[in-house]
Amino acid sequence: MSRLDWLNGLPLEEAQAEFLRCCGSRRWAEGMARARPFAQETAVYTEAGWLWSQTGPEDWKEAISHHPRIGDVSQLRERFKATGTWSAQEQKGVQGASEEVLQALADGNREYEERFGFTFLICATGKGAPEILEQLRERLNNPPPLEMRIAAGEQAQITRLRLEKLLTSP
């Protein structure tokens, strides 16, 4: 049985739980679960993008709240068990960063959260700690409405990557 067939065959609540692993917006996950069955994987990605485009700031904040801070390994293990492995893979570029860079990320995360009211979110796959830190510092200068939209775009990228993982790995 293909992963797509498996996903299509799940009971509604179980499908919602799987979609929540990809994106923490309950409204989005419910919409994805109701949109099944999908004829092919591309339909999953198309529906995911369309449903995300129908969401707004409250949904975005809910989804962002399901992410650990960049570089916070203890938070990954404790709070994000359902997605911790995926998050650790996505943040692989932070591993081995110097203490100076890790401290700057921690300080930047605190400043970001104070300024915007939510966790700094970036699609970290393929990015090293210095690049992430540079983008964090740049984004601190954004007006809040713009930053919210940027973070929502980052969430959309992460969701796509996680849907691909959901559909390819048991």
Question: Which residues have a catalytic role annotated?
Answer: 67
For residues 143-165, one letter each, b for 16 or more C-beta atoms within 10 angstroms of the residue's C-beta and e for the rest, the string is: eeeebbeebbebbbebbbebbeb
**Is the peptide bond between 130 and the residue preceding it cis, with omega within 30 degrees of 0?**
no
Cβ-proximal residues to 101 (8 Å cutoff; 6+ apart), any chain = 129, 130, 133
Q: Of all helices (H) and strands (E), which one includes residue 89?
A: helix 84-90
Q: Which two tokens stand for residue 62?
A: 């809910």
CB 35 within 8 A of CB 51: yes
CA distance 156 to 161: 9
CB 104 within 8 A of CB 133: yes
